Structure 1
Amino acid sequence: MRDNSSDYRALFLGDVPMMDARAPVEFDKGAFPGVHNLPLMDDLERQKVGTCYKQHGQEAAIALGHRLVSGDIKERRIAAWAAFAKANPHGYLYCFRGGLRSQTVQRWLQEAGIDYPRVLGGYKAMRSFLLDTLEQAVEQCRFVVLGGMTGTGKTDVLSQLSNALDLEGHANHRGSSFGKRATGQPAQIDFENRLAIDVLKKRAAGIEQFVLEDESRLVGSCNVPLSLHQGMQGYPLVWLEDSFDNRVERILRDYVVDLCAEFVSLHGEEGHELFAERLLQSLDRIYKRLGGERHQRLQGLMEAALDEQQRSGQVDLHRGWIEGLLHEYYDPMYAYQRESKASRIEFAGDQAAVVDYLRERLAKG
């Protein structure tokens, strides 16, 4: 039998398959990428055992757990664990603290003829390891922040860099009031875990300097870790520039063409209506900052564009509200931000120049 493990670094660097024996409610609050939730107890069973523990102590709670997970229920769960173990012979199992639940799963598998190791310390220890990984990176590594007007293609730049940390990618959100994707965002803990594993892998590859997009504390509903966000207020800044027309076309691609395709891919024909609702909701989200008159005017342009897109598939009319929103809302806001951060800007240029500069900066170390 392979030994139980507490080498969390190796587990995450190797994308080792893992079976999470916690209840679904625990798993949904936060988990690790690619992990399979195959619980010892479902949510109701866990709740009953927890109540019994509080009222009658550990021995009574364990006895109740064995009564609840017995017979056909126990056989089905063992079969699911066994299938995972056979499909992932180099994997591991864990529970919250590496205690009774994972030990029980391990023992029942052994009784079924399968030796399968568990992660010592469980989810809690691995989660602490990842939080420490992020904090150590903030303390030990160097960071550069990538800024620029809306639509300059900051995400496109990050995708070309080996040392980029894509906060929006990990949060599944484009970062603005219009940034919600057709698919939902991860839980806060999932976001932090994904980011930490990204950092861990890049540092293992020898990277000690990272590029981040200039973000507010919130990327949709996901909070950028506090120490990292505080650092971003003082890191050197590289400013990405592009023409107004190019920015309009990029926004049209990302927030209209691609987003509509996402909704249609997920929801079929109904996706067109859901996309239209999402776009109008996004505009409503900045109603107070736009003011009533501007909001009404831009909403009229957006509704006309959506009607035409639904009727003919043409998206040209969307440029009207995009241009208006840039001229009247986003550009003045970003111009103010650029001025307030001017002392931190060490380079400014178009996409090709910025990519070259950031690659050279990384090469110099």
Structure 2
Amino acid sequence: MYDLDALKKFDLIIDARSPREFAEDHLPGAINLPVVFDDEYAEVGTTHRTNPMRAYQIGVAYSLKNIARHLELPFFRSDRRMSVLVYCFRGGKRSKLWTDALETIGYKVDRLPTGWKGYRNWVRQTLEEVPAHLQFNVLSGPTGCGKTRLLLALRTAGAQVIDLEELASHRGSIIGAIPGRAQPSQKFFDSLLLAEISRLDSAKRIWIESESKRIGHVQLPTALFHRMHGGRLFAVETPMRERIAMWRREYPHFERDPTGLVTQLGHLKALVSGATLQKWASMAERCEIEALFESIMVDYYDPAYTRSTKKNYLHTEHAIKIQLETLDSSYLANVARRLISDSDALTSPPPE
């Protein structure tokens, strides 16, 4: 029904919906040029309940004014006959208003008949079907071991990679929120994920990091989550000194506010002992950062990760071990090149 590669043929993709709708989810590469803005959309909707004709009159008036302003943007300053794709919620009135205006000017315009709603249904269905055809190399290992840094090194070295934490804007644990970066909505995460998958060659293996079903407030598609667990498992092991240094790089805000870190971890009181929580609180008060980070990993994250891996991956004893001496970029680049070469030689599938 849809081909994300085909979207590249358009010079411009216009999402005619309101900014609130666009923020929730949109087609990859689309820009938001609303026919009506959020407050205008609400006014039209309210009026429509009692006087539909007046509502349409208000909506069209807003639309003509807004489209006129949009046409002053640099996109439309060229004399070139651009190819434009326009869509709204269902492919109805809002996209038609844009289409009529652009075709009158002389642009080549395609209109998405089923709009965003049809696209969203396709995304959801495709994410339940496509993962079955993917083959994964899965990086596992405790928090701070450098899985994400190794994943990026693999991408730089030419491997196919899906970085789920980057797509989710979250580091994937109870303390994984990234300061200053909001997570995408579930729907937009799905769009980003499908766009990423669509760029990959399904005939070749894809490197991915072992993740929980939920990353922050977004969830992985069930089909992808299950398919990852059938992948070839690579177990990353890294010295504690390197893991602590990684935490200091990744979580500088917790180093500045260790008490705030322990407060967040208070949600774990059902999973760790009161004595452990008190130990962390004391370390935070004394600003014993390295000891605090190590204790959190050893006393909570490492056992939890081991349990999760054994639960979700069969035959963990067959995991291919990756022993990292350091998380230095040049060192990881060499490891990545070797992994690509070695994994290409592993033609037999992992144990079922």
> Please, what TM-score do these two structures have when normalized by structure 1?
0.77
State whether structure 2 residue 290 is matched by structure 1 residue 294: no
User: Residue 99 of structure 1 aligns with which residue?
Assistant: 92
Q: Which runs of 4+ in 1 moved over 6 A?
A: none
Q: Within 5 Å, give how 1:23-34 maps onto structure 2.
A: 23-34=18-29
Structure 1 position 134 matched with structure 2 position 107: no
Q: Distance in 2 between matches of 1:166 and 1:225?
A: 15
Which residue number in structure 1 is paired with residue 169 of structure 2? 172
Cα deviation, residue 10, structure 1: 2.9
What's 2:329 paired with? none
Residues 362, 46 of structure 1: alpha-carbon distance in 2 compared, 3 angstrom cutoff: farther
1:115 shift after superposition: 2.6
Matches within 5 A, 1:1-365: 8-12=3-7, 17-53=12-48, 61-67=55-61, 69=62, 74-83=64-73, 85-86=75-76, 89-110=82-103, 113=105, 115=107, 117-121=109-113, 122-161=115-154, 162-182=159-179, 183-203=181-201, 208-256=204-252, 259=253, 279-305=261-287, 317-340=288-311, 341=313, 343-344=315-316, 345-351=318-324, 356-362=338-344
SS across alignment from 1:212: strand
Q: Is the 8 A contact 2:144 2:243 kept in 1?
A: yes
* Separation (CA, whole Å) in 1 of partners of 2:21 and 2:274: 44
Measured in 1, the distance between the counterparts of 2:237 and 2:198 equals 31
Alpha-carbon distance in 2 for matches of 1:123, 1:8: 14
- Bigger mean CA deviation after superposition, 117-126 or 243-252: 117-126
* CA distance in 2: counterparts of 1:278 and 1:15, whole angstroms: 48
Residues 1:298 and 1:346: Cα distance change in structure 2 (over 3 Å): closer
Tell me: CA distance 1:15–1:101, structure 2 relative to 1, closer, same or farther (3 Å): closer
How far apart are residue 213 of structure 1 and its match?
A: 1.2
- Give the Cα–Cα distance (whole angstroms) in 1 for the partners of residues 337 and 125 of structure 2: 30
TM-superposed deviation, 1:245: 1.7
What's the offset of the Cα at 1:319? Answer: 0.5
Specify the SS of the correspondent of 2:304. Answer: helix
Q: Which moved more, 1:133-142 or 1:143-152?
A: 133-142
Determine helix, strand or coil for the equivalent of 2:199. helix
Alignment length (residue pairs)? 327
1:361 partner SS = helix
- SS, match of residue 271 in structure 2: helix
Q: Which has the higher helix share?
A: 1
Alpha-carbon distance in structure 2 between the residues aligned to 1:132 and 1:87: 39
Q: C-alpha offsets along residues 140-199 of structure 1, whole Å, 9 cap, x if unaligned? A: 222232211111111112112321111111001010112110111111111111111011
Which amino acid in the other structure matches residue 166 of structure 1? D
Q: Counterparts of 2:231 and 2:206 in 1: how far apart (Å)?
A: 11
Match of 2:21, SS state, is: helix
SS of 1:97's partner is coil
| AA of the residue aligned to 2:17 | R
CA contact (8 A) 1:238 1:354 kept: no
How many Å separate the matches in 2 of 1:280 and 1:15?
Answer: 50
* Secondary structure in 2 matching 1:117: strand
Cα root mean square deviation, aligned:
3.1
Q: Is the 8 A contact 2:258 2:284 kept in 1?
A: no
Q: Letter of the 1:25 partner, please give it.
A: R
- Provide the rounded CA distance (Å) in 1 between the counterparts of 2:282 and 2:28: 42
- Whether contact under 8 Å (1:94, 1:102) holds in the other structure is yes
* Separation in structure 2 between the aligned mates of residue 124 and residue 83 of structure 1, nearest angstrom: 27
Q: Partners of 1:327 and 1:7 in 2: how far apart?
A: 47
In 2, the alpha carbon distance for the partners of 1:13 and 1:109 equals: 19
Consecutive unaligned residues of structure 2, counting only runs of 5 or more, are 325-331, 348-352
Q: Is the 8 A contact 2:99 2:111 kept in 1?
A: no
Q: TM-score scaled to structure 2, two decimals? A: 0.80
Deviation at 1:289, TM superposition (A): 2.1
Superposition deviation, residue 223 in structure 1: 0.5
Q: Distance in 2 between matches of 1:180 and 1:19?
A: 31
Cα distance, 1:65 vs structure 2? 1.8
